Amino acid sequence: MSTSLIDLQKVGMTYEAASGPVEALADISLRVGTGEFVSLVGPSGCGKSTLLRIIAGLRPATKGMVEVTGEQVTRPIPDIGMVFQAPILLKWRSILRNVLLPAELAGRDAGKLRDRALALLDMAGLGGFAEKLPRELSGGMQQRAALCRALLLDPPLLLMDEPFGALDAMTRDDMALELLRIWGETSGARKTVLFVTHSIAEAVFLSDRVVVITPRPGRVAADIAIDLPRPRTVELRASEAFGRLNFDVFRALTGRAG
Amino acid sequence: MTLSALVGRYWPTAALFALLLALWQLAVSALEIRPYLLPSPAMVWNALWQAGFSWWPHLWITSLEIVGAFFMAAIVGVALGTAVAWSPLVANALMPFLVFVNTLPKVAIAPLLLIWIGYGILPTMVMGALIGFFPVVINTAVGLSQVETDMLDLGRVFSAPKWKIFLKIRIPNALPYILSALKITATAAVVGAIVGEFVASQAGLGYVIANTQSSMNTAVAFASLIWISAIGLALYGVVVLAARLWAPWAEGVE
Ligand SMILES: Nc1ncnc2c1ncn2[C@@H]1O[C@H](COP(=O)(O)OP(=O)(O)O)[C@@H](O)[C@H]1O
Ligand SMILES: [Mg+2]
């Protein structure tokens, strides 16, 4: 494995909720190498979103050690693309200005990135919606706009929380291929991606590794290497190896042995 | 809205209004009610245009006071609301004072305002502003604070400084709240202006009403009321239009 970009050791997270403490993550140890594409799958409520927030430095873990690029994470880490589970578009801004928001917040020249933003929207099939307000778009379209926003500054690390959750099956498969292209599957310089999904097939299709998390409190149930050839193609979905890996992940997820 | 839709929606109101006017006119002539008790609609209509004096200076003064009070309340309200939302320390320090000022009966302060500020339109403006500023403080503070945590996290992901999050996320989020409070302020400014004129003034629609007491010219008092509500409605309408224009995403947020 290449040098590890993300390094989690025995990470635990307990929320202090009004009704008492909620242990979201029990004991997560995980390494993600630079340029790796790793998916997280697990039942709802097992702490996947929590884990992404911890890695991004948005919430401190209550236990364990979190390092990104060899440094302890104590506050929001710079140069990441984050796709939250909800689109979180600013409802007063047009789609284009939402996509440009990272530039403005980070103090970069938004004017210079306008063409890039428009190209990203085109890629996501939103070319005609740049000047629309978020409420004029469907949930799936809003999610794609949020993806464009995360990609605007071309970050080397992408943390993606069910980014395709609201998309129909067809669009979803198209977006998966686009994501692989953006990730840099065929070019030399690959980004690092940590990708949360509910779809086993999507995780297997995209990833170098699929990490299965147990029901709450989350632990790593299995870490499955996906040794399928790249670049991944649509035909791959019909192959026997693809089916077998899907079944491996399914077994780990449902806790069934052999 | 198209013309036919407007007619469809408002004809019951118009019909009821016409009916009431007719009944009023009938009652006044049939029962021979003396005009200083209740003038007929026709007399009020006449007074609206020919009162024996020019309405213009009074309309001008009162409008000026109302608009002045409105902007004072808006500016001071937004400033205080922002201070309250900026830091819990400021909020804890300020809020008790603001609540205290808000619960004071403003009419009771009017004579004091005259002593402190002197005569003229300024004390009347301050009066209107005092009545109308509090909802703006509250709605500004609420609108600036009630931002989804996810949105703030978005700002943190890009290491945006606090002022930038204020400018790009909190302030736009607060805009519909502020505009909604300004509708209340518009009405309060009218009340304040008239109360201020009652207490001390040489001109204005409130002054005209106060003087009809001695002249027994009730029709002129009615006409003043109509002018006052016309100014009030116009200001309210401008705020509603501004809300449509500046916060179109929040249509229906009240
Ligand atoms: N801010 C919070 N306060 C209290 N409990 C929370 C909070 N966020 C998440 N949780 C709880 O932590 C658990 C994990 O949540 P989450 O990370 O969103 O799971 P997932 O993304 O895997 O569905 C859930 O039981 C959830 O109710
Ligand atoms: Mg989640």
Residue that the structure tokens 């498969």 belong to: A173
Tell me the pLDDT of chain B averaged across its residues. 91
**Cα A131 to averaged position of ligand 2 atoms, centre (Å):** 30
Percentage of chain A with pLDDT > 90?
88
Pocket of ligand 1, candidates A11, A50, A214: which has the most ligand atoms within 8 Å of its Cβ, to mutate? A50
User: Which percentage of chain B shows pLDDT scores above 70?
Assistant: 98
For residue A257, what pLDDT is reported?
58
B155 vs A: CB within 8 A: yes
Q: Which amino acid is at A179?
A: L
Backbone dihedral angles phi then psi of residue A199, each to the nearest 5 degrees: -95, 115
Q: Convert the pLDDT of each residue in A157-177 to its tens digit.
A: 999 999 999 899 888 999 999
pTM for the model stands at: 0.84
Q: What angle do CA A209, B158, B147 make, to 5 degrees?
A: 105
Q: So what's the pLDDT on residue A188? A: 74
According to DSSP, the residues that pair with A160 across neighbouring strands are A83, A195
What is the four-CA torsion angle of B98, B100, B101, B107, rounded to 10 degrees? 160
**The length of chain A, given as a count of residues:** 258
B249–A91: do the CB atoms touch at under 8 Å?
A: yes
What is the rounded distance in angstroms from the CA atom of residue A114 to the CA atom of residue A120? 10
Q: Which positions in chain B touch A78 (Cβ < 8 Å)?
A: 159
Q: Which domains does chain B have, with CATH numbers?
A: 56-250 (1.10.3720.10)
Distance CA A169, CA A123 (A): 17
Ligand nearest to C-alpha A12:
1
Please tell me the number of the ligand nearest to residue A50's CA. 1
The CA-CA-CA angle for residues A34, A37, A39, to 5°, reads 130
> A104 and B164: CB-CB below 8 Å?
yes
B160-185 mean pLDDT: 94
What are residue A223's DSSP bridge partners? A211
